[in-house]
Amino acid sequence: MSFISQDAPGKTVLLMGNEAIARGALEAGVKVCAAYPGNPSSEIIGTLAKVAEEMGLHVEWSVNEKVALEVAAAASFAGLRGLCAMKQNGLNVASDFLLNLNLSGCRGGLVLVVADDPAGVSSSNEEDSRIFAKLGDLPLLEPANFQEAKEMTKSAFEISERLGLPVLIRSVTRVSHARGNVCLDELPRSIPKPKFETSQPLAAFPAMPHHKILHERFNRAKEMVEESAFNFYRGPEKPELMVVTSGSGWMYSLEAVINLNVQDRVGILKLGTTWPLPESLVLNHLKKADRILFIEEVDPFLENNVKEVYAQNCLAVGPKAFFGKASGDIPGIGELNPEIVTQAIQNLIQVPYQPRPADYAMAAHEASAQLVPARALGFCPGCPHRATYWAVKVALALDGRDGVVLGDIGCYSLGLGPSGFGQMKTLHAMGSGIGLACGLGQLNRFGLEQPVIAVCGDSTFYHAAMPALANAHYNGANFLLLLLDNNATAMTGFQPHPGTGSTATGKEAPVIDLKALCEVFGARVEVVDPFDVAATVEILLRLLQKETGVKVLILKRECALVSAKHQKRLFRVEVEQDRCLGETCGCNRLCTRVFKCPGLMWDRASGKARIDEAICTGCGVCSEICPASAIRKEKA
């Protein structure tokens, strides 16, 4: 039995926020769980997949977030409880369905967890997903700690069923990925039988009557949230400053108020139901203070909505001064931390406080740099993407027409930086590289002379690239698609996908063959192993110089981290010290200065390159690029 599925009511366990959400769903009796992986949300479904069999659940990694939400919604339509999880970008993909689902409504409890990534640490963008709740008139909950993450998830299923609407939970990195104590409740015993009630269709159309029903449901939600225990106030009756906060902002605010020792001067209104707002509760607390400070991560969602409630009731509430992102007291980008909140409060109430020195961050950075070797953000040792981008770099340089590489979402997004030799020139959404290629690949009729290349990973291909490939062939675009097939959704934690032959729960699954799929879409397809750099360059050059149509080159080589788990290294690699040219004319450290695989080390003392045997995966690519043939590889 997994720790997440233990039937031990009253027991306190240490859980990651995402595990607490998963446990909440189990306690709510969830039956169907679906997601497309994306940090910081991936552990929710990952955790549930591990207990799927034992708990009698259907858990799947769907091909994309829209399909995932549809899978979970279908369970709800048949009366079961469904959970869907995704990261903020995922909601953009799922939003088309979501903004029809709000009108059709649902039956069994349906909860959509969206984990936002403030600062975009592991995302292509920084986005606040909460706006979708407002857009769709859907209830939104924001957990502020780990216990709440579990309780809110459970509660969200109840609210969903009472309103007949999907309920959104918005987490952030520091809630999803941090750990804290969680007290467990009972797991349900009943197993409901699904049935789709065919006498009552579920559709958004006709829109107006359904929109009216949605508004009625939304009004009921407004009443419900007034009583929610997830909203509370802590502080004096008449505070000098009222902090209004939600989610991760609660802990930061609490820490700041305690640090400044101003519990008797500053009050905190902590809101867990941030859409719709508990308007009466908010107005009653606004009356307590003249100065209001908003603490929340990413956009001023709470700030704007509270101001909206205030504007409607300002005569009754009286004049207020608002501080937050709009006033510039809180940064409009990036993650918050206790220091930012402490300084904002201190600025507003003038309390003696020794702020952290301005150069603290830099000094800390420098001190830590003494302890760890400097390392750039880059591909792992033996990563096939490094070999691929090397070949792309060489082929584009030789081709000489300033070819453009349109990027996509995955580990290979690092193609923007030095690890991918700066080859990638655009990066947007899942599948956007090939979509952009559909457009750029039409411009030669206007005189565009640059060859167009799109890169796309295997998981991303199933997720969002297939429509663009169909479009490309249909509309006659000219480009070369590089399908970087590493047989994993590597960046988010090696989740399986339709090409890997297994499911989320580890069961065997049919493999959907990428090559055959691309050929069905009318593309000329070739396959190469990127570790064969010379062959890859040759094929790339040949395909680039074919004038018309959609060409696909599948660069097939398993992710080095996946390979390491089930096979021994391919080669034993060694640098022959006598042959290594080092920094002299003829080499100038090509391997450690330009190729930069972390498995290669530069030995300052001897002025020669060496292999770091602890991390070298034995791919042998460096032996191909060494100009002096000093890097020897032998079958391991």
Q: How far is the CB of 421 from other proteins (least distance, A)?
A: 8
Of 276 and 451, which CB lies nearer to other proteins in the complex structure? 451
Closest approach of Cβ 451 to other proteins, in Å?
A: 14
CB of 401 to other proteins, least distance (A): 11
Min CB(544)–other proteins separation in Å: 12
User: Which residues within the stretch 398-457 sit at the binding site for other proteins (CB under 8 A)?
Assistant: 398-400
Paired tokens of 525: 């397809």
The answer to whether residue 587 forms part of the interface with other proteins (CB under 8 A) is: yes
- With tokens 């820490």, the residue in question is 255
> Any residues with CB less than 8 A from the CB of 309 and at least 6 apart, and which?
277, 279, 282, 283
The residue range among 153-161, 215-223, 370-378, 395-403 that interacts with other proteins, by the rule CB under 8 A, is 395-403
Give the one residue of 203, 361, 376, 397 binding other proteins; rule: CB under 8 A: 397
Q: How far apart are CA 616 and CA 401, in angstroms?
A: 35
538 binds other proteins (CB under 8 A): no
Which residues, including other chains, have CB under 8 Å from residue 407's CB and lie 6 or more apart?
Answer: 413, 415, 416, 424, 425, 426, 427, 433, 455
CA dist list (Å): 19 to 14, 16, 22, 249: 9, 5, 5, 20
Looking at beta carbons only, is 606 or 629 nearer to other proteins? 629
Residue range at the interface with other proteins (CB under 8 A); choices 474-482, 494-502, 581-589, 605-613: 581-589
Phi, psi of 182 (to 5 degrees): -135, 130
Contacts of residue 406, defined as CB under 8 A and 6 or more positions apart, other chains included, come to: 424, 425, 426, 432, 433, 434, 436, 437, 440, 452, 453, 454, 455
Choose, by CB under 8 A, the member of 121, 258, 535, 594 that binds other proteins. Answer: 594
Q: Which stretch binds other proteins (CB under 8 A): 148-156, 224-232, 290-298, 392-400?
A: 392-400
The residue among 501 and 627 lying less far from other proteins, judged by its C-beta, is: 627
The half-sphere exposure of 17 on its side-chain side, counting CA atoms within 13 A, is: 27
Q: Which one of residues 32, 590, 621, 622 is an interface residue with other proteins (CB under 8 A)?
A: 590
The stretch among 31-39, 308-316, 554-562, 580-588 that binds other proteins (CB under 8 A) is: 580-588
Using DSSP, how many helices (H) and how many strands (E) does the chain show? 22, 24
User: What is the rounded CA–CA span in Å between residue 78 and residue 544?
Assistant: 51
**From the list 588, 612, 634, 636, which residue makes contact with other proteins (rule: CB under 8 A)?**
588
- In the complex, the smallest distance separating the C-beta of residue 624 from other proteins, rounded to whole angstroms, is 11
Could you give the CA distance from residue 211 to residue 96 in angstroms, rounded to a whole number?
Answer: 16
Main-chain dihedrals φ then ψ at residue 575, nearest 5 degrees: -100, 120
The residue (of 226 and 399) whose beta carbon lies closer to other proteins is 399
Query: Roughly what angle, to the nearest 10 degrees, separates helices 249-260 and 338-349?
Result: 50
Residue 241 interacting with other proteins (CB under 8 A):
no
Of 163 and 391, nearer to other proteins (C-beta) is: 391
CB nearer to other proteins: pick between 165 and 622: 622
| Choice from 359, 583, 613, 634 touching other proteins (CB under 8 A) | 583
d(CA 337, CA 325): 15
Q: Which stretch binds other proteins (CB under 8 A): 329-337, 391-399, 402-410, 572-580?
A: 391-399
**In this complex, which beta carbon is closest to other proteins, that of residue 512 or of residue 625?**
625
Q: How far apart are the first and last CA of the chain?
A: 39
Of residues 612-631, which lie at the interface with other proteins (CB under 8 A)? Answer: 625, 627
Nearest distance, CB of residue 548 and other proteins, angstroms: 17
Footprint (CB under 8 A) of other proteins, residues 14-53: none
Does residue 393 belong to the site contacting other proteins (CB under 8 A)?
A: yes
Q: Which is nearer to other proteins, 362 or 397 (CB)?
A: 397
According to CB under 8 A, which one of 1, 311, 374, 585 is a site residue for other proteins? 585
Cis peptide leading into residue 40 (ω within 30°): yes
Task: Output the CA torsion sign for 580, 583, 587, 589.
Answer: positive
Closest to other proteins by CB, 522 or 627: 627
Q: In the complex with other proteins, which residue's Cβ is closer, 506 or 627?
A: 627
Interacting span for other proteins (CB under 8 A) from 119-127, 223-231, 458-466, 577-585: 577-585
Candidates 238, 513, 586, 636; binder of other proteins (CB under 8 A) is 586
Which of the ranges 40-48, 178-186, 338-346, 578-586 carries the binding residues for other proteins, by CB under 8 A? 578-586
Identity of the residue numbered 231: N
Amino acid at site 460 = T
What is each CA distance from 301 to 88, 244, 325, 562, in whole angstroms?
15, 12, 10, 40
CA-to-CA distance for 214 and 211, rounded, in angstroms? Answer: 5
User: Is the C-alpha dihedral spanning 610, 615, 620, 626 positive or negative?
Assistant: negative
Least Å from the CB of residue 579 to other proteins: 12
Residue in 584, 606, 612, 634 binding other proteins, rule: CB under 8 A: 584
Contact 610, 601 (CB under 8 A): yes
Distance CA 542, CA 411 (A): 26
Q: Supply the minimum distance, in Å, between the C-beta of residue 621 and other proteins.
A: 14
CB 392 to other proteins: min, Å: 12
570 CB burial (10 A radius; 0-12, 13-18, 19+): middle
Positions in the binding site for other proteins (CB under 8 A)? 393-394, 397-400, 583-588, 590, 594, 625, 627
